[in-house]
Structure formats: C-alpha cells, structure tokens
Amino acid sequence: MKFITRFLCVPVAGLLALTSCAKDEDESYVQFENQALEAWMTQHRPDLVKNYQPDGGYYIDVLDAGEPDKDPLNKEPIWVSFDFSGRDLAGNIILTRSASDAKLTGAFSKYTHYVPFYRYCGTENTGLMEGTWLAMRNTLKLDQEYFDKYKNDPERRLTSTELQLRIGSKIQLYMPSTVVGNGVEGTGGYEGQGSPSKYTLSANRPFIVTMEIRDTVSNPLEREGKNVDEFSDGNGGRLVYGKEADEKTQTVVRPTDPEDPNHAYVTDKRWVSACDTIPQLYVNVRYDPTQAADRLDYPAPYHSGYEPYVTEESVKTIDEKIAEALKKRFYPDDDDKYEGVVKLDADSVTLEGTAKIWYIGRFLDGFIFDTNIDEVKKIIYGEVKSAGSALSYKPSERKMIEAFYYTIPNLKYGQWAELITTSTNAYGSSGKTGSTSSSTSGTSGYSSSYYDYLNYLNYANSYYGSGGYYGGYYNNYYGGYGGYYGGYYGDMYGSDYNSSSTGTTVKTINTEIPSFTPLIFQLYIEPKE
C-alpha cells in the first residue's frame, strides 16, 4: 500500500512527461519500422511496393483472386475457414497449419489435426490478427502495373485492380508489427522451425503471412447441426425421439417396450436420440467395434500425406487395425462378450453410478484426437508414452462434457456404445486450443505454452453461448455450455499421453478442438464390479 501511495504522489507534470516520452518513442519506432519494411520490399519484392494498403500499412500479393461467383467476406459478419502459414523476413516458418510445412520444419506431430483456422470475422475485430482481419474486411487496392502483369494469369484470376476476398482467395501479406500483435508463436504441432520451435516472432517485427480462404459460414450452429444429421443419415440412419410424435419431422416418442420397432435396441436405424429434449445428440447402443458393418464411413476422410493418415483410404486401414486390437483386448473369444447387455438385463449406470470408460474420440473426418486405449495409441501415434487407465465418470458430478451427462446414465455396464454430438454439448464456441508443453524429470516445473494470438473466444462465447445473443434467441434450445469442460479436458483429453521418467524430457502435444466442432466417441463401459 505504501508503494501505491508514493506512486500517486508523483506530480502530474511528471506523469505527462513520462507518457509523452513513451508515446514519442513508440511513434518513432513505428515510423522507423515502416521505412525499414518499405526498403525491404523495394529490395526483395519491388513488384509489390505499389500494392501498399494505407489502412494497416501492409503490402499484398494476390496468388488467387478466388471464386468469382462467391460472395465477398465483407458482405456480412461471417465465420471463415482459412489456411495459414507465417514467416519472418528471413523466411523462417513461425506458424503453419500445413502438414507438409510442419514436416519440413521438424514440427510435424501425429497428435496434430492439420486443418484450416476457423474464426469469426465481423465488422469489428474481436481477435483475428489485425492485418488478416483488415484484408478480409476491406476492398484491397492493386497497382495498375501489377494488375496488367498478372491479369492474364489463369491461376491468379484477377479481373480488376480492386479485390475483395472470398472463397478460393489466396494472398500473401507483408505486414508491419502494428497489425501483427505482440509477437507470434505456434503451439500444438503448428510450430515453425526447430523442435521444439526455436523460431518465434518477437514483438515489433514484420510478418509474412500466406492465407487461403477455404469456406465461409453464416451460422456455425446450423452448419454443424446439418453436418451431424447428414453424417448420421449416411451411417445407418437416425431415429429422433421427442416428447410428442410428429409425422412432419418424423419424430417418435421413446418406447419402453423392448419389442417396439422404435426401441433403441431393435430399430433398423443405427442412431437414436440420447435425450428426447436435446437435438443432434445421437447414440448407438448396439455398437460393436469388432464388426465390419459397424465401422464408420467418413464422407471427407482426413489425410495429410503422412502416417498414419496418408491417403483417404488410410482411415479404413486404421479402423481395421483398431478392430483387431479391440477384439484381442476386450473379448478374444465371442464367449467373452458380456451377456447382460445382450439380454438387456444388465444394470444401467444411472446418474449416481460410476462408469469406468475406455474411449476413442474422433472428429467427423475420422481423425482420432484422444484415446486412453494403449493399443489404439500405438496404432495412431506409434508410441505409448504412458499406460492408459479407465476413465472414472460419475454423471451426477457433471465434470465432463454435457454429451456424456445425457448419454452415459442410460448405458449399461459391460456395454460398447458410440455417440455423436454437436459442439453445444461438447466444447462449444470456444473449442480447445492446442498446446505443446514439456516436462523434465528432476525439475520443479512444468512448462507449457498456450499462447494463441488469434484467440478471440471470449467474444465468441458471449455471442454464441447459452447466455449470449444466439443462446437467448433460441431460448436455450441448443442447451448451455456450463462450466464442465475444463475438468473433462484435463482428465480425459491427452493428459495421460505423456509422463516424464528419470533423466528425460517429454514433449506433450494436445490436439486442438476448433470452435463449433462436432465429435464422435466410441466407448466401452466395464462390467459392474
């Protein structure tokens, strides 16, 4: 308190002088950096010097103007999916979403889902790197000489000296630090050169970004809901339960008679509603991972060109290997299957029960983001850094994602099942930032880097969360996110992949879960003790 008191006694004139000096110094550096960047452009990219954008002070190279029949990004507030790779002026990769670039830099990780960023781009910037937001929202001006040089290039598709980004647009931005932010660092497998990355972009440094617009989404809740429904329809069909039957929506009341053709254990549909009041949360209670007929078909399988997801066919190969491993582990003989489930007389977990769960977590493209089954770890990651153990879950404590709360209590001990859910009952608008950390035995610390310079998710939560605009608008139809994800993520999501041993340093990578991302869980509940 004494320190604060003394500080408050500093003369006002003195404070003004200090502020003025700091401001002058900042302005002087900005001017110097802009001049230095212009000199660098003149030497290395003279063709882009006149492609200077006054609003932001950056330079642009148009590699592809984009699909001419698509709406520009600045037409309305929108969510944007875009590839991203960033370098310093020396050409060192600082951050990349490309598996190929990550492989070249030595940062490639089998734990990393190499897919585009998925970010909100509105009329006000709520967290995007300033330069990328300005490029998305503004009409970009190109030099006439530059346009004349490339207007006949079929790959660039330039039609005017004015450009508005849209789906298919691919550009390079040469940005001063004023529109970059306080430094840049990759994490979660998206690191740049070095292992772990030794190349980061310090504050007050220019940045070169290559960015390609892959997709735009006006309403992410609607989009992912549609994706879940289409995925379910393409994988055995779905039966929707409701409080009342509705022929128009093909909704039926959940039957209690096991002989009823709409009962979850006898219906010809693979998926049924886990809860008759929760939309787009479906469960398959007859799932058997050892059966070929129960393997999922992924409309757009993940493939990076590198093991284990080499080609689109790789996911099928992975599932075949997993099926063999699970059969060998959980019931090498058909007689080992728990009869209580088959006969429907096994106890359900209920809200107050405790389930010991073995699980595989996947995205809709088949990528496995988490598992506690060692055999699966070996197949996917080529290693088992620490032995997995069954996840202990008591529904009444609500310490995991809401999808588990609505699903697990109705499942039976000794049962395999799978569920699919939208982000509303998973990780919501926030998702989970990927992270890279390392721990060394013999030290007192655990170091991790969770810095994500593009993270705007506090805004996203306020806008799309249960208490925000869309939550209120839909009258909480899509449910609430609550405060339960942290515990689930910590207990279940990658934490047991890595543990250090004496005299070693272990690097841990947790897979990013983007905003508004549907998830699949394939799980086994141990028989009741």
pLDDT confidence band for 528 (50 / 70 / 90) = confident
pLDDT-above-70 percentage for the chain: 79
**What percent of the residues of the chain are helix, what percent strand, and what percent coil, each to the nearest 5?**
30, 20, 50
Contact 506, 438 (CB under 8 A): yes
Contact 393, 401 (CB under 8 A): no
DSSP β-ladder status, 93-96 and 117-121: unpaired
Three-state secondary structure along 442-459? Answer: CCCCCEEECCCCCCCHHH
292-306, 438-452, 453-467: lowest mean pLDDT where? 453-467
Q: Check whether 2 has a pLDDT greater than 90.
A: no
Give per-residue pLDDT as tens, 304-343: 999 999 999 999 999 999 999 999 998 777 666 656 566 6
- Cross-strand partners of 207: 175
Token couple for 499: 């543990």
Give per-residue pLDDT as tens, 31-73: 999 999 999 999 999 999 999 999 999 999 999 999 999 999 9
Question: Per-residue pLDDT averaged across 206-213, rounded?
Answer: 98
The pLDDT, as a whole number, for residue 426 is 98
The pTM assigned to this predicted structure is 0.83
pLDDT-above-90 percentage for the chain: 68
The pLDDT, as a whole number, for residue 487 is 32
The average confidence (pLDDT) of the chain is: 84
Q: Identify which has the larger pLDDT, 473 or 139.
A: 139
Q: Where are the domains of the chain?
A: 44-217, 221-433+511-525
Q: Check whether 1 has a pLDDT greater than 60.
A: no
Question: Per-residue pLDDT averaged across 503-511, rounded?
Answer: 76
Give per-residue pLDDT as tens, 397-442: 999 999 999 999 999 999 999 999 999 999 999 999 998 887 655 5
Give the CA diameter of the chain: 87
Token couple for 140: 């970009």
Token couple for 175: 């940005």
User: Per residue in 254-272, is it b (16+ CB within 10 Å) or e — as a string?
Assistant: beeeeeeebbbeebebbbb
Question: Per-residue pLDDT averaged across 126-135, rounded?
Answer: 95
The pLDDT, as a whole number, for residue 151 is 97
CATH fold, domain 44-217, is: Chitinase A; domain 3 (3.10.50)
The pLDDT, as a whole number, for residue 53 is 98
The pLDDT, as a whole number, for residue 345 is 74
SS3 9: coil
Contact 285, 415 (CB under 8 A): yes
User: Per residue in 286-305, is it b (16+ CB within 10 Å) or e — as a string?
Assistant: bbbbbeeebbbebeebbbbe
Please name the CATH architecture into which domain 221-433+511-525 falls: Roll (3.10)
Give per-residue pLDDT as tens, 282-306: 999 999 998 898 999 999 999 999 9
Phi-psi domain of 237 (left: phi exceeds 0; alpha: psi -120 through 50; beta: other)? left
Among 489, 454, 433, which Cα is nearest to 188's?
433
Phi-psi domain of 428 (left: phi exceeds 0; alpha: psi -120 through 50; beta: other)? left
pLDDT confidence band for 20 (50 / 70 / 90) = very low
